[in-house]
């Protein structure tokens, strides 16, 4: 399966307009944003866990990165409330579940295969002091990518030079980019060579951004 697999094109998905699609696990539904592969895939997805749903324990051969968008995600390592950023590098294993239900934004098979740095962060706790209406937290950085979280004041402008492709998720609020309004749940991917410029909406915005990774995008190797 290939979905939004042309990394040389600008892509916008208004995820909250998509239908939920059942996964192979009962009580777990998905909204796919991009994908190369079938059940083993380089994938970017929004996943919803119904209360008391769970996966059996499994290994993430290609790594897993996720944000808890609402509710409480749980696994062998503990409870992960709304606003938590998690990196489970290649070879890590867990049994995901949620007693009360939750929604996560998750990326699979998008790690440096030598990465073994496993961690969790409360994104809001990492925020630096705002500059020109933009407060940013550095969540992760290595030779292949940089991951940040920003809280942006109403009507504040945001600019990011080309840094090897850009991916953005609007966690809350809205932004306007290239004349298009992106509300909560909107996902944007810009190709290498294209800078990111946008203006936050009247109520501001909270966004997750990843840069530098698109030149390294490839199908999973199983």
Q: Which of 153, 141, 157 is nearest to 209 (CA)?
A: 141
pLDDT for 101-133, tens place per residue?
999 999 998 878 788 988 999 999 999 999 999
Q: Are residues 173 and 186 in contact, defined by beta-carbon separation less than 8 angstroms? A: no
pTM above 0.85, yes or no: yes
- The radius of gyration computed from the CA coordinates of the chain, to the nearest angstrom, equals 17
Q: What percent of the chain has a predicted confidence (pLDDT) above 70?
A: 99
Q: Which of 110, 126, 146, 16 is nearest to 70 (CA)?
A: 16
Split at pLDDT 50, 70, 90, the class of 222 is low
- CATH number 3.40.50.300 given to 18-121: no
Query: What is the model's pLDDT at position 152?
Result: 98
Q: Which of 151-155, 158-162, 190-194 has the highest mean pLDDT?
A: 151-155
CATH number listed for the domain at residues 122-216: 2.60.120.10
Measured between alpha carbons, how far is residue 43 from residues 31, 34, 197 in Å? 11, 6, 25
Is residue 180 scored above 60 in pLDDT?
A: yes
Measured between alpha carbons, how far is residue 123 from residues 77, 131, 138, 206 in Å? 18, 17, 9, 11
Residue 66 tokens, joined: 């996720």
Specify the domain boundaries for CATH 2.60.120.10 within the chain.
18-121, 122-216
pLDDT average, residue stretch 1-10:
92
Count the helices and strands in the chain (H runs, E runs). 0, 21
């Amino acid at each position: 399966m290939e979905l939004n697999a042309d990394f040389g094109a600008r892509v916008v998905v208004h995820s909250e307009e998509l239908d939920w699609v059942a996964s192979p696990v009962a009580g777990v539904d998905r909204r796919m944003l991009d994908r190369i592969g079938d059940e083993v895939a380089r994938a970017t997805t929004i996943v919803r866990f119904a209360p008391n749903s769970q996966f059996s324990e499994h290994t993430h051969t290609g790594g897993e990165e996720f944000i808890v968008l609402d509710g409480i995600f749980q696994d062998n390592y503990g409870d992960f409330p709304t606003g938590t950023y998690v990196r489970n590098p290649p070879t890590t294993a867990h049994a995901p579940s949620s007693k009360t239900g939750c929604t996560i934004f998750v990326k699979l098979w998008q790690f440096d295969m030598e990465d073994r740095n496993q961690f969790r962060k409360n994104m809001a706790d990492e925020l630096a002091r705002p500059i020109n209406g933009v407060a940013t937290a550095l969540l992760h950085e290595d030779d292949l990518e940089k991951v940040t979280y920003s809280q942006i004041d109403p009507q504040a402008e945001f600019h990011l030079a080309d840094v090897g492709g850009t991916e953005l998720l609007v966690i809350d609020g809205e932004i306007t980019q290239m004349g298009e309004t992106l509300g909560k749940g909107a996902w944007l991917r810009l190709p290498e060579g294209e800078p990111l410029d946008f203006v936050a909406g009247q109520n501001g915005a909270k966004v997750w951004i990843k840069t530098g990774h698109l030149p390294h995008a490839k199908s999973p190797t199983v």
